[in-house]
Chains A and B, each alone.
Chain A
């Protein structure tokens, strides 16, 4: 028997070969599972390359749409080399479904990924887990709520699962990473759709790094994989599967968050929603969920109670912000119903623009209101 050559499949361990299999075009979670679970990665690789005979359902799979010929062309020793290099460069680990480190909560799921790419520390998955999800185009008030919920859950020792998208997802994890007076930053669990070395959206690269450092970042997409649209619903099923309780902060009536909610319902995961103003389109989905019988989330205690945790010692309920004066209170009240521009605000209050400007300045400094691109919103909780 000749010694293994460079680039030969025998040089690489099972998990690297599985990662290379995941990089083949047209390999989804189901096909990858069929290949890796029923054959093992090495044998699957040889079968795909035509070095071993394919039997039964594998043969049927390879015949499907000429996949066999396509994969045979793609499954080259160079692909193995490339995958191994990308894995070590990106500091990623590959967990097969039978790996002892593979998160047990995922392994028991009916649609568990056969191969999981992980960066960071998987210990977070052993804690109590709450998913916080919502729309990317969230209101400032919604982002503020998500951020605060993330901080408080982390302080209560709960791991927050989220998708690292813009808007609510990012706000929740930023909150988790924020230390409080009494507790260090929490351990976030980030589940992303693209490969772990393809940061999407790009402005979140610092957040990705922080999540991987403090907690864990995971994906079922191999390194170099682009954030294709079809990967997001697949990512959402992992979000649902990893959560014990899923909190929808803000969502439109349709969209990614509602897909996650459906996946959660299939798995019996408790779904909770943050009530919003009927004037605000980004709260439509959350309000719809409440109408369908989801429990509302107004404070972190609601979530802690749903988890069966002791919520009494968790947080003092005092609002640290100074109480606004009567004049300032009028401004906050006007903003509670819906976001307004400075022009609208002056017109509806009927006061001098100077006085309203002074009020807004004071309120913004004390954290009662916030301004996004000319639109003012009131923040109910500190």
Chain B
């Protein structure tokens, strides 16, 4: 008469438990789903009925009411199909009520009764990880990565029912034989020459400083940025899990192990919409690019081409490490602790060099107006990259490999964490004097730049943080010396001096 099966729906990057209650009773034959189902959810009525008939189950010709509890929240997605089907079977007394105990069901049904993969399997399963979770074959790896107590894989509805009855064996899921071989990331040894650009990547990785490359087309800005994940410290278990959750929820391809092992790299095209960047959109609140890049790198090529509203929306997540999305029905926080790397041309013609650039002042000023000042200010590192030299390109000398650089970065980061418990880019201003004390010579350099008007008060703090990272990379973990500050100053080109070009 009545049955209740456990399943989950997705909101943002977390699954929420849903009890699928089914009542089969007297009345006109019919099938209704209540409890705020969305369009996909309501259509499961037809899928479940067709799956019953395809697999030879008897469809109860009575009044069937499905309630998705808690009924106050909106439910979306097709992951409830299997739970509805099993609950109907129990309520119609074709299955004993005991099969529902300790189980949860996360799968979509095909019209032929087969079990299909669902979007966001990892966070969905994580919400019911204390139970034995029945999933489709393709979600086995993700369900295992989410840490479910038991993962049960079935091929179709009849198979799942037989297994629940104890008449058949669950399938072996393919996540168990996860190969430890990691997919190879692009390596820094491919970069020939460009010593300063390489150095900028290393400093950015060590101190988690946001980085802007300015250079002509063909300078290898994208190539450099793509190699940043290979020198970042490896993800911790917590970070790997949270990355996996986000990527699963956004339905991006997961590695064969079902678990993300490397810092992610996201490079959205400049036509990306505000919702695509920040998240939201559907009832399930799909995570945006900032969340997909969390714990990894968000690369914005052609920074000037992005819509200003999209760039301005980045400022809050850059400050807080989370992005709060509010819609009429829901408000939720999504992770957004990303390292921002951007690339821009120095001017419309792209060359930028004095005497070579053919842009007139108006065109250049118009181009620079596209960059919002507050966003440009967030970049601790602003580096000009030039075209690689022919000798470097055809020469046989390869650059330093990522593994070597990654080791230095890991040592520097560990030193920073041991000293102040945070990465250098996140040093508060009042912490600077304690965590990054300056030698008298270094202080004199900064004073000289401030007095000459080449450095602003805000830039001063950013330069000190970068100098802290440079000193850490040099193995100097206590004090910041003159050479560290001098290098940090060179790593922060003032774009604004392009305007007018008069002074």
Interface residues of A (CB under 8 A from B): 136-140, 143, 166-167, 170-171, 201, 203-204, 279-283, 338-344, 346-347, 353-358, 360-361, 364-365, 371-375, 377
B196 within 8 Å of A (CB atoms): yes
B497 within 8 Å of A (CB atoms): yes
**Nearest CB of A to B40, in Å:** 52
Nearest residue (CB) in A for B494 is A373
Stretch from B68-76, B279-287, B480-488 at the A interface: B480-488
Q: How far is the CA of A280 from the CA of B181 in the complex (A)?
A: 53
Query: Is the CB–CB distance between B500 and A347 below 8 Å?
Result: no
| Chain A residues within 8 Å of B486, by CB | 354, 357-358, 360-361
**Nearest CB of B to A362, in Å:** 9
Q: How far is the CA of A319 from the CA of B383 in the complex (A)?
A: 33
**Nearest CB of B to A322, in Å:** 14
B172 within 8 Å of A (CB atoms): no
Take A137-B357, A339-B354, A361-B445 as given contacts and tell me if A372 and B501 are in contact as well, using a CB distance cutoff of 8 Å.
yes
Q: How far is the CA of A338 from the CA of B354 in the complex (A)?
A: 9
**Of A137, A280, A364, A372, the contact of B361 (CB 8 Å cutoff):** A137
Query: Is the CB–CB distance between A347 and B483 below 8 Å?
Result: no
**Nearest CB of A to B184, in Å:** 27
Nearest residue (CB) in A for B488 is A357
Interface of chain B residues 363 through 384 with chain A (CB within 8 A): 383-384
Q: A281-B356, A355-B483, A358-B486 are in contact. List 5 more A-B contacts (CB 8 A).
A: A170-B502, A347-B194, A347-B389, A365-B448, A373-B498
Nearest residue (CB) in B for A140 is B354
| Size band of the interface chain B makes with A | 35 or more
Most chain A beta-carbon neighbours within 10 Å: one of B199, B392, B449: B199
Interface of chain B residues 464 through 502 with chain A (CB within 8 A): 470, 482-484, 486-487, 489-490, 493-495, 497-498, 500-502
* 8 sampled A-B residue pairs with Cβ under 8 A: A137-B361, A281-B355, A282-B354, A354-B486, A371-B497, A372-B498, A372-B501, A374-B352
**Nearest CB of B to A10, in Å:** 45
| Chain B residues within 8 Å of A282, by CB | 354-355
Most chain A beta-carbon neighbours within 10 Å: one of B452, B493, B501, B502: B502
Nearest residue (CB) in B for A204 is B502
**Nearest CB of A to B454, in Å:** 8
Q: How far is the CA of A201 from the CA of B392 in the complex (A)?
A: 43
Query: Is the CB–CB distance between A166 and B490 below 8 Å?
Result: no
Nearest residue (CB) in B for A349 is B195
Q: How far is the CA of A364 from the CA of B199 in the complex (A)?
A: 22
Query: Is the CB–CB distance between A166 and B195 below 8 Å?
Result: no
Query: Is the CB–CB distance between A203 and B500 below 8 Å?
Result: yes
**Of B199, B360, B454, B490, the contact of A137 (CB 8 Å cutoff):** B360
Query: Is the CB–CB distance between B502 and A166 below 8 Å?
Result: yes
Query: Is the CB–CB distance between A373 and B502 below 8 Å?
Result: no
Query: Is the CB–CB distance between A357 and B489 below 8 Å?
Result: yes
| Chain B residues within 8 Å of A372, by CB | 354, 497-498, 501
Interface of chain B residues 329 through 375 with chain A (CB within 8 A): 346, 352-357, 359-361
Query: Is the CB–CB distance between A283 and B197 below 8 Å?
Result: no
Q: How far is the CA of A358 from the CA of B481 in the complex (A)?
A: 11
**Nearest CB of B to A140, in Å:** 7
Nearest residue (CB) in A for B482 is A358
| Chain B residues within 8 Å of A138, by CB | 354, 501
**Nearest CB of A to B52, in Å:** 67
| Chain B residues within 8 Å of A373, by CB | 346, 352, 384, 493-495, 497-498
**Nearest CB of B to A197, in Å:** 21
Query: Is the CB–CB distance between A343 and B196 below 8 Å?
Result: yes
Query: Is the CB–CB distance between B386 and A343 below 8 Å?
Result: yes
Q: How far is the CA of A299 from the CA of B353 in the complex (A)?
A: 26
Query: Is the CB–CB distance between A139 and B354 below 8 Å?
Result: yes
